[in-house]
Amino acid sequence: MSAEPSAMQVSYPENCGNAPRHLVIQEVIVALHGRDLDHLRLWLTEDIEWEIVGFETLHGIDALCSWVMISGDTKSLEFKSVLTHGREGSTDGNITNGQDISAAFSHVLRFTGAAKTARIKSARSYLVSKPI
């Protein structure tokens, strides 16, 4: 199940290259903000634990997908960096919602293994609203 495609603008860091794990992380975050549940289900484990720091922890893919569907629209998504090492990866950047409210983000992801086909088993997200 996927939401209607949006006109979300996405920008990527120039130095990201074609590293497979970098691309997976970017695709997952684009799917998260674009409400592409089918793509999320490809890369996340059924029992994923996704903590939104200071807000809540989502337990399982169904809880995460429900949260994604009630989240507001994302107008733009800008990746500043994507880093990977072994079973872990992270990305940070900025998002702007449909009401032109911006926030900085950082997502720290843990994969089930180091293979490029490994799924994400846990994540921790930090969202910081920018002052008006």
CB half-sphere exposure, 88, CA atoms < 13 A: 6
E strands within 12-101? 44-52, 56-59, 74-85, 88-97
pLDDT above 70 for 77: yes
- 4 vs 111, more confident: 111
CA angle 76, 117, 59 (to 5 degrees): 65
Q: Is the pTM of this model over 0.95?
A: no
> How large a percentage of the chain has pLDDT more than 70?
92
Write the pLDDT tens digit of every residue in 111-128.
Answer: 999 888 999 999 999 999
CATH label, 9-129, candidates 3.40.50.300, 3.40.50.1780, 3.20.20.70, 3.10.450.50: 3.10.450.50
Mean pLDDT of 34-55: 97
Break the chain into its structural domains and give their ranges.
9-129
Report pLDDT for 131. Answer: 67
